[in-house]
Structure 1
Amino acid sequence: LNRMCEEEEQLMELEGLKPEESYLECFRCDLGFWDACYTTETNCSRGELCYTGRGKAADSLDIKTLGCANAEECNAKTTVALFLNNTIFVMTKSCCDTPFCNSAQELPIYTVFQITLAGLTISHITKALVG
């Protein structure tokens, strides 16, 4: 196991990377509403960048995600299905390349209520659009 780590470090040095530079640390939030996100810290895979994703569900609800992305996903619009009812929204990921550059505000306790309310709103909007 040590030999594999040493070989990986040697390979990174040949490519001009220091071991600590090979994996970017970013914030991660799977789903947030408006600017409220419950964040954790994550280590990206080699070559990935930090991103902040923003989109709008049902043309009224601001959606936010944070995490790691490949360079080709940056500044590209993607379609995402939300919740079990598959509400569709378009998201654009903005990327950055320094540790924790996709910072997010801490999620206050009262925001849990707002997130629940937003989820119910999306559910009702989707039912109204579909039914």
Structure 2
Amino acid sequence: MGWIVFFILSLFFFSSVCYLECFRCDLGFWDACYTTETNCSRGELCYTGRGKAADSLDIKTLGCAKAEECNVETTLELFFNNNIFVMTKSCCDTPFCNSAQKIPIGTLFYLTLAVLTTRYTTKDLV
């Protein structure tokens, strides 16, 4: 009887400690993403999400996703101004398998500023 309790406790301990580690990026443009490391919840996989906004801007996200969210197209709203884009999450199941190029936060800020300035300047001219 004692070995059954030990077995159940060891399963609980190892299943609650061994979560998948992934990179996380809330929003990146093209292949540029400011990444951090994150631990997924039980049953989640690492993912790389790719989509296109404004018919020309490649969007990328990284993080953890449930298995049913993998390889499914989802429609998302960007910047709360009705820029809608479609994203597909590609999933993997090994630590940090959704690797991305790390860039300094300042570079990402200037890249984002340049993209938004170009977009709104072009929009005003049309």
What is the TM-score when the length of structure 1 is the normalising length? Answer: 0.77
Contact 2:34–2:108, Cα closer than 8 Å, also in 1: no
Task: Tell me if 1:42 matches 2:38.
Answer: yes
Indicate how the Cα distance of structure 1 residues 70 and 36 shifts in structure 2: closer, same or farther if over 3 A, else same.
same
Task: Tell me if 1:118 matches 2:97.
Answer: no
Q: What is the count of residue pairs matched by the alignment?
A: 118
Instruction: Find the partner of 2:29 among 30, 33, 51.
Output: 33
- Deviation, structure 1 residue 118: 1.9
Structure 1, unaligned stretches of length 5 or more? 1-6
Instruction: Find the partner of 2:78 among 79, 82, 86.
Output: 82
Give the letter aligned to residue 8 of structure 2: Q
Indicate how the Cα distance of structure 1 residues 24 and 113 shifts in structure 2: closer, same or farther if over 3 A, else same.
same
What is the TM-score when the length of structure 2 is the normalising length? Answer: 0.80
Q: Identity percentage over the alignment?
A: 68
Instruction: Find the partner of 1:104 among 91, 94, 100.
Output: 100
SS in structure 1 of the partner of residue 34 of structure 2: coil
Contact 2:71–2:91, Cα closer than 8 Å, also in 1: yes
Structure 2, unaligned stretches of length 5 or more? none
Aligned-pair RMSD on alpha carbons? 2.7
Q: Which ranges of 4 or more aligned residues in structure 1 deviate by more than 6 Å?
A: none
Instruction: Find the partner of 2:62 among 60, 66, 72.
Output: 66
Query: If you compute each CA radius of gyration, which structure gives the higher value, 1 or 2?
Result: 2
